[in-house]
Amino acid sequence: MAAKNKYEQITIESAYKDIVGATAEPQEEKKGRRTVTLEEAAYLRRMGKTRGHKGAHMKRMNIFITDENREYIEYVGKMFGRNMGEFINDIIADFAKKHPALLEQAKELQNVFNEEVDDEG
């Protein structure tokens, strides 16, 4: 009996061979985008230059700031040759250098708070 359509002729074995053959062929690389090594990704994150580098994305956040603070970040950051994100990261890095123990204290405090909440619950 002849097959009614071309899909009836497909078997699991022939489909599997097609899939294996397709994945074994080298894939063309997309222009303007490449996968970076872990070392390159770490360097790019430190430099803040991760756009267009697959696997090197930085964390992002959406925050509320006043108009006055935004204006300060924009213009003073430009004065130092930094974009707004770079300037904010510079400010945080400077603050962290001046107060090195503060992060550990904050983590300890958060752990104590979490333990109290767990004990109550």
Q: Which residues of 13-48 are buried (b: 16+ CB within 10 A; e: fewer)?
A: eeeeeeeeeeeeeeeeeeeeeeeeeeeebeebeeee
CA atoms within 13 A on the CB side of 66: 3
Higher pLDDT, 23 or 112: 112
Over 60: is that where the pLDDT of 115 sits? yes
> What percent of the chain shows pLDDT beyond 90?
35
Residue 98, pLDDT score? 95
Q: Phi and psi of 101, rounded to 5°?
A: -85, -10
Higher pLDDT, 12 or 60: 60
Q: What is the DSSP string of 23-35?
A: HHSPPPPPTT-EE
Residue 25, pLDDT score? 54
Tell me the per-residue pLDDT of 16-57, one tens digit each, with 9 for 90 and over: 666 655 555 555 655 666 676 777 766 666 666 656 555 556
